Amino acid sequence: MDVNAAVAAAAAIAGVLTGVIAMLAFRWSEREQKRPTRTSLHTDPVLPPGVDTVLSVLRSSAVVLDEADAVVKASSAAYALGLVRGGKLSVEPMLQMARDTRRDGEIRQVELDLPRRGTGRGEALAVSARVAPLGSRLVLLLVEDLTEARRIEAVRRDFVANVSHELKTPVGALSLLSEAVMDASEDPEAVERFAGRMQIEATRLTSLVQELIDLSRVQNDDPLEDAEPVRVDELVAEAIDRCRHQAGTKQITMAAAGAAELRVWGNRGQLAAALGNLVENAVNYSPARTRVGIAARRVSVPSGDLIEVAVTDQGIGISDKDKERIFERFYRVDPARSRQTGGTGLGLAIVKHVAASHGGEVTVWSSEGQGSTFTLRLPEAGAARDRALQHPDLDDEDGPTPESASYDPLPAPEVLP
pLDDT tens per residue across span 244-263: 988 999 999 999 988 788 99
Residues 378, 351 share a domain:
yes
166 vs 148: CA distance, rounded Å: 27
Average pLDDT over the chain reads 77
293 vs 371: CA distance, rounded Å: 11
Whether residue 21 is contained in a domain is answered as no
CA-based torsion, 300, 301, 304, 309: positive or negative: negative
Residues 354, 266 share a domain:
yes
Closest to 101 in 3D by CA, of 127, 140, 72: 140
Residues 94, 118 share a domain:
yes
Most confidently modeled range among 214-228, 330-344, 387-401:
214-228
Please tell me the pTM assigned to this model: 0.54
Residues 200, 255 share a domain:
no
67 vs 196: CA distance, rounded Å: 78
51 vs 136: CA distance, rounded Å: 14
318 vs 331: CA distance, rounded Å: 13
Closest to 328 in 3D by CA, of 113, 154, 108, 70: 154
152 vs 391: CA distance, rounded Å: 30
Whether residue 171 is contained in a domain is answered as yes
pLDDT of 113 above 90:
no
Whether residue 8 is contained in a domain is answered as no
β-bridge pairing 253-257 and 291-301: parallel
The CATH number of residue 216's host domain is: 1.10.287.130
Q: What is the pLDDT of residue 22?
A: 58
The CATH number of residue 387's host domain is: 3.30.565.10
Find the distance separating the first CA and the last CA of the chain, reported in whole Å: 140
Residues 349, 273 share a domain:
yes
pLDDT of 351 above 60:
yes
Q: What is the pLDDT of residue 217?
A: 72
pLDDT (tens digit, 9 = 90+) per residue, 315-339?
A: 888 888 888 788 887 776 665 555 5
DSSP 91-105: -HHHHHHHHHHHHH-
Residues 396, 252 share a domain:
yes
145 vs 61: CA distance, rounded Å: 8
Residues 233, 330 share a domain:
yes
For residues 42 and 5, the model is more confident at: 5
CB atoms within 10 A of CB 414: 12
Which residues have CB under 8 Å from 356's CB, separation 6+? 396
Mean pLDDT of 86-109: 88
49 vs 320: CA distance, rounded Å: 58
Domain end residue (candidates: 112, 145, 178): 145
Q: How large a percentage of the chain has pLDDT more than 90?
A: 18
Question: Based on the structure, what is the number of domains in the chain?
Answer: 3
Whether residue 14 is contained in a domain is answered as no
346 vs 197: CA distance, rounded Å: 23
Mean pLDDT of 43-57: 66
Domain end residue (candidates: 94, 118, 145): 145
Whether residue 106 is contained in a domain is answered as yes
Whether residue 12 is contained in a domain is answered as no
Residues 252, 157 share a domain:
no
Domain end residue (candidates: 101, 121, 145): 145
Whether residue 315 is contained in a domain is answered as yes
Q: What is the pLDDT of residue 342?
A: 53
Residues 338, 260 share a domain:
yes
For residues 409 and 358, the model is more confident at: 358
Residues 381, 257 share a domain:
yes
Q: What is the pLDDT of residue 406?
A: 34
Q: What is the pLDDT of residue 381?
A: 83
Residues 398, 355 share a domain:
yes
Band the pLDDT of 400: cuts 50, 70, 90: very low
Residues 316, 238 share a domain:
yes
pLDDT of 384 above 60:
no
Q: What is the pLDDT of residue 392?
A: 46
CA 365 to centroid of chain Cα atoms = 23
Whether residue 28 is contained in a domain is answered as no
Mean pLDDT of 151-169: 75
Band the pLDDT of 69: cuts 50, 70, 90: confident
Half-sphere exposure in the Cβ direction for 177 (13 Å, CA): 19
CB under 8 A, 24+ apart: contacts of 386-391: 387/304, 388/224, 388/227, 388/265
Domain that residue 151 falls in: 147-220
pLDDT of 100 above 60:
yes
Phi, psi of 106 (to 5 degrees): -85, 145
Band the pLDDT of 156: cuts 50, 70, 90: confident
The CATH number of residue 60's host domain is: 3.30.450.20
Q: What is each CA distance from 86 to 39, 82, 112, in whole angstroms?
A: 20, 11, 22
